[in-house]
Structure 1
Amino acid sequence: MRWGEIDLEVTSEDWKEYQRLCHPDSPDFILNIPDYCAFITYSLFCGRVVQ
Protein backbone atom coordinates (compact mmCIF):
# COMPACT_ATOMS: atom_id res chain seq x y z
CA MET A 1 0.00 0.00 0.00
CA ARG A 2 1.19 3.44 -0.79
CA TRP A 3 0.01 6.78 0.44
CA GLY A 4 0.81 10.28 -0.64
CA GLU A 5 1.89 11.43 -4.08
CA ILE A 6 2.59 7.99 -5.55
CA ASP A 7 1.46 9.09 -9.01
CA LEU A 8 4.61 11.27 -9.14
CA GLU A 9 6.87 8.26 -8.44
CA VAL A 10 5.69 5.76 -11.08
CA THR A 11 5.51 5.69 -14.86
CA SER A 12 2.30 6.86 -16.51
CA GLU A 13 1.72 3.29 -17.77
CA ASP A 14 1.98 1.86 -14.25
CA TRP A 15 -0.32 4.58 -12.91
CA LYS A 16 -2.94 3.77 -15.56
CA GLU A 17 -2.69 0.07 -14.69
CA TYR A 18 -3.09 0.88 -11.00
CA GLN A 19 -6.19 2.99 -11.74
CA ARG A 20 -7.62 0.25 -13.97
CA LEU A 21 -7.37 -2.32 -11.17
CA CYS A 22 -8.11 -0.16 -8.13
CA HIS A 23 -10.83 2.30 -9.16
CA PRO A 24 -14.27 1.00 -8.09
CA ASP A 25 -15.90 2.28 -11.29
CA SER A 26 -13.46 0.38 -13.52
CA PRO A 27 -14.79 -2.75 -15.25
CA ASP A 28 -11.52 -4.43 -14.20
CA PHE A 29 -11.79 -3.47 -10.51
CA ILE A 30 -9.79 -6.18 -8.77
CA LEU A 31 -12.13 -6.55 -5.78
CA ASN A 32 -14.90 -7.63 -8.13
CA ILE A 33 -12.93 -10.75 -9.10
CA PRO A 34 -14.46 -13.62 -7.07
CA ASP A 35 -11.18 -15.52 -6.66
CA TYR A 36 -9.05 -12.49 -5.79
CA CYS A 37 -7.11 -12.67 -2.55
CA ALA A 38 -4.22 -10.64 -1.22
CA PHE A 39 -1.51 -11.01 1.36
CA ILE A 40 -0.63 -7.64 2.82
CA THR A 41 2.14 -7.11 5.32
CA TYR A 42 2.54 -4.13 7.59
CA SER A 43 5.53 -2.80 9.47
CA LEU A 44 5.25 -1.39 12.96
CA PHE A 45 7.90 0.83 14.44
CA CYS A 46 8.27 1.70 18.07
CA GLY A 47 10.45 4.47 19.39
CA ARG A 48 11.32 6.35 22.50
CA VAL A 49 12.29 9.99 23.03
CA VAL A 50 15.11 10.32 25.53
CA GLN A 51 14.87 13.57 27.48
Structure 2
Amino acid sequence: MASAMRACDHWGDSPASRDDMRRQIAEVPPHLRAELLAHFRTHYPEPEANPWQ
Protein backbone atom coordinates (compact mmCIF):
# COMPACT_ATOMS: atom_id res chain seq x y z
CA MET A 1 0.00 0.00 0.00
CA ALA A 2 2.93 2.34 0.67
CA SER A 3 3.93 2.19 -3.00
CA ALA A 4 0.40 3.07 -4.06
CA MET A 5 0.36 6.00 -1.66
CA ARG A 6 3.61 7.26 -3.22
CA ALA A 7 1.76 7.27 -6.54
CA CYS A 8 -0.95 9.35 -4.88
CA ASP A 9 1.71 11.71 -3.53
CA HIS A 10 3.21 12.04 -7.01
CA TRP A 11 -0.14 13.00 -8.52
CA GLY A 12 -1.29 15.18 -5.60
CA ASP A 13 -4.36 13.05 -4.96
CA SER A 14 -7.00 14.16 -2.49
CA PRO A 15 -7.93 12.12 0.59
CA ALA A 16 -11.00 10.84 -1.27
CA SER A 17 -8.85 9.72 -4.20
CA ARG A 18 -6.52 7.93 -1.79
CA ASP A 19 -9.49 6.11 -0.30
CA ASP A 20 -10.55 5.13 -3.83
CA MET A 21 -7.04 3.81 -4.50
CA ARG A 22 -7.15 1.69 -1.34
CA ARG A 23 -10.55 0.30 -2.30
CA GLN A 24 -9.50 -0.44 -5.87
CA ILE A 25 -6.35 -2.22 -4.72
CA ALA A 26 -8.42 -4.37 -2.36
CA GLU A 27 -10.59 -5.34 -5.35
CA VAL A 28 -7.64 -6.57 -7.45
CA PRO A 29 -7.76 -10.37 -7.74
CA PRO A 30 -4.99 -12.09 -5.74
CA HIS A 31 -3.32 -13.51 -8.85
CA LEU A 32 -2.74 -9.98 -10.20
CA ARG A 33 -1.48 -8.31 -7.02
CA ALA A 34 2.20 -9.14 -7.52
CA GLU A 35 2.12 -7.50 -10.95
CA LEU A 36 0.37 -4.42 -9.54
CA LEU A 37 2.90 -4.16 -6.72
CA ALA A 38 5.76 -4.46 -9.20
CA HIS A 39 4.24 -1.64 -11.25
CA PHE A 40 4.00 0.69 -8.25
CA ARG A 41 7.50 -0.20 -7.01
CA THR A 42 8.98 0.40 -10.47
CA HIS A 43 7.21 3.67 -11.22
CA TYR A 44 7.00 5.10 -7.68
CA PRO A 45 10.07 3.76 -5.84
CA GLU A 46 10.74 4.40 -2.20
CA PRO A 47 13.06 7.38 -1.81
CA GLU A 48 16.58 6.58 -0.72
CA ALA A 49 17.52 7.46 2.84
CA ASN A 50 19.57 10.64 3.15
CA PRO A 51 22.57 9.96 5.44
CA TRP A 52 22.94 13.70 6.10
CA GLN A 53 19.62 14.08 7.88
Greater Rg over alpha carbons, structure: 1
Structure scoring higher RCO (CA < 8 A, sep ≥ 6) equals: 2
State TM-score, norm by structure 2. Answer: 0.35
More helix by share: 2
